[in-house]
Structure 1
Amino acid sequence: MFMLRNYFQSQQPFPTVDYGHVSTVVSKADFDKVTRQQVEKEGAPDHRLTIVDFYATWCPPCKAAVPLYAKMSEDYYKKGVQFYKCDVDKSRDTSSSQGISAMPTFKVYKGGICVETVKGLSEANIRAALDKALVETSVGGAQTKK
């Protein structure tokens, strides 16, 4: 019975929302561009944070994450955090290069470097990772975590 429920749930269309500030990464080139932001005038790394939701359209927890992620994008918009999503089935090269083995996986980047990773859907853990990265950014240094 559980397998039948999962099958039908996976056949439901992927949800969309009409709010939030979430953009889509469709290729490795897009991913590299949004995570390796540079300050053009100074040539120094940009210290803004970028979070990427690596998801699959057939994944029930990924579907449940859509409204939560959109809401978080609104909450963190004024703090300068940029929100992106990447379909692992459409951008296999990106998900492979980032070592994605579970969906959803949320990765926080600063200057092209992954500083926090959250596997699975936990709003509290995602917010904690963002808050930690924001604090580390404001004091000047974040450690790399993969």
Structure 2
Amino acid sequence: MVWRERKLVDGSETGTLSRQRAVGAPLKSDGGFPVSVNAIKSKQDFASVIDCGKPILIEFWAPWCGPSRTISPIFEKHASDPKNVGIEFYRVDIDEQEQIAQEVGIRGMPVFMLFKDGDKKAEVIGADPGKLEALVIRARPLR
């Protein structure tokens, strides 16, 4: 955390705490666990990831989508939660990976999908933290 001070129009000062990280540095959750949300960069990567035998949670998002940007930190927090060890977290930028988005039938954003052994087990459409948490909890017994 970095403390930043700024002067207001009336000359008084105020300070705010902000998170800063170097580009490429791993994000950290509040608990200090590294966030491990990996980007899927190709259709081949997608096929091998969902068929790896572990429970896989994938966030389908786009950088221009406000709801995607809003819920992404919550997805990252779940990824770094020790209760979720054994679940792998990934994200797919649908603008960069249109073929994957078409294959899985993305109809809105953000979309969160749970896969196990190549099969889609569940899906959540929209930036609903409660539904996302329920999806993560559903993935735990699949480990």
For this structure pair, what is the TM-score category when the shorter chain's length is used for normalisation? 0.7 to 0.9
Which structure 2 residues correspond to residues 1-146 of structure 1 after superposition, within 5 A? Answer: 18-19=27-28, 20-37=35-52, 46=53, 48-75=54-81, 78-135=84-141, 137=142
Structure 1 portions without partners, runs of 5+: 1-15, 38-45, 139-146
Structure 2 portions without partners, runs of 5+: 1-23, 29-34
Paired residue type of 2:137: D
Structure index of larger Rg: 2
Alpha carbons 1:118, 1:126 under 8 Å: kept: yes
State how far apart, in whole Å, the 2-side matches of 1:98 and 1:64 are: 23
State how far apart, in whole Å, the 2-side matches of 1:126 and 1:117 are: 9
Structure 1 length as normaliser, TM-score? 0.71
State how far apart, in whole Å, the 1-side matches of 2:129 and 2:82 are: 13
Give the secondary structure class of the aligned counterpart of 1:102: coil
Paired residue type of 1:128: A
Q: CA deviation at 1:133?
A: 3.2
Paired residue type of 1:55: W
Q: CA deviation at 1:129?
A: 1.6
Query: Which stretch of structure 1 is more off in the superposition, 89-98 or 65-74?
Result: 65-74
State how far apart, in whole Å, the 2-side matches of 1:110 and 1:73 are: 17
Q: Which structure features the higher share of strand residues?
A: 2
State how far apart, in whole Å, the 1-side matches of 2:80 and 2:102 are: 29
Q: Which structure features the higher share of helix residues?
A: 1
> Closer, same or farther in 2 for the Cα pair 1:133/1:78, shift >3 Å?
closer
Work out the percentage of aligned pairs sharing the same amino acid: 27
Q: CA deviation at 1:132?
A: 2.0
State how far apart, in whole Å, the 1-side matches of 2:84 and 2:64 are: 32
Root-mean-square deviation (CA, aligned residues, Å) is: 1.8
Q: How many residues align?
A: 113
Alpha carbons 1:116, 1:133 under 8 Å: kept: no
Structure 2 length as normaliser, TM-score? 0.73
Paired residue type of 2:37: V
Q: CA deviation at 1:76?
A: 5.3
